[in-house]
Structure 1
């Protein structure tokens, strides 16, 4: 685990170094480098599995299999997709209740304002369709991004964090596994968080502390999906969906509304409340354990 962690951190900093030496997140290479960085945990896990551990079932050691029972896997993939979207939306509701996210859930005034400004820059003066249809398209965009665009980079992280690392930590118990993996995952983001990613304008130490808390809570839920779903795929889809649905704040913000991501949205403390409660319930109910198919279950799904 130490070797895996060192490789993950060293490679992440190495990839992000051009941003530190150049224009930071304003660099034209920023998106490419951040995306490349997401594959580092898989490289670290592959190195440990292929060079050090050398298990017989390498794909299983990485969490890529088993894919049976197929019905259970599909069920947890569906949960991963829609639960993550729901948590992102609930984060906006809770943020609105606490007064840290200026919301307009009925008229979408801020989204209309942003869209009209973008159209004006393109030389247009009218919305191409009703605002409700544009909102629906944003949700469709989330689904497309989650299922097709973000999935591979998210898998690049999840093979390392939840596919390989989390099961290794379970021997210490659920809470230590959640906390240790969450802290490692959060600190791993330091090369880009300290440049302003996710928490622009926030002091570096506070932004990194927030990222650790956010990663611990959401990573715990991703871990539950990985353990109960039987493989890393539900966790990867949840991660992919989070990266897509985290931008839904644009749809529901009030006109001229501004907020601090340290306080509002799924990245802020108000957005952690519902996921944290859900994670607590899952652990207390004993659900943070690997799914172990019975002989009967394996036989019933042997052709699935």
Structure 2
């Protein structure tokens, strides 16, 4: 017998979700915004760590870093709660369990971003190269190359997930219908697609690190910008990607305010996807 749990039982998780998505949005605003500023001043796009380091010397930079720490902590907690309580109703079949496991991994990754911001706030020295240093440590373990290869497959899978999400616009089913979400759908779609591109490049780096057993092949967002910059019309590609990541920041902020959580939402809440399908049927 299935036990129905009142939506009010989970209402306390909503502020955590909102803070988490807002913090995630701030991270992408900082990285993409500072990268565009650096490019326009003749410099190069920055990765997450470099962008955070830049904030330490900026007016009110510590405030932004503190907000990022709080936001990343909230997002990590939210993802773990979401997976444990199945707040988005993925279920307990194989597909649902994989989706919920992915939430936990995503939460841990964003928790690590928060730790990076904390280290800068307290003035801890950073001796390593982030992903590269972590990959080097894993490669020294028994079966390390296989672990990195598995991580590469998962990362490339996440990239395909974002790209198909943008192509099919399935994110609409998670957003509450409103005049605002309908009018800004194009920006959110571009943002989700851009995130897919960045994650795909990072997954490619991990795959090369596994194939060559060389941690120097791995890299994060900064290395993704560098690689794109070396391609034909590289600077234009990097600028377009940064603009797209601002779109992803916008997507995160919209989620903070309009995301539908199935086990919390009031009965009859209409999603953006449902609204557009209804209007399409009415027009035919």
TM-score by length of 1: 0.26
Answer 1 or 2: higher relative contact order, Cα 8 Å, separation at least 6: 1
* Structure ranking higher in helix proportion: 2
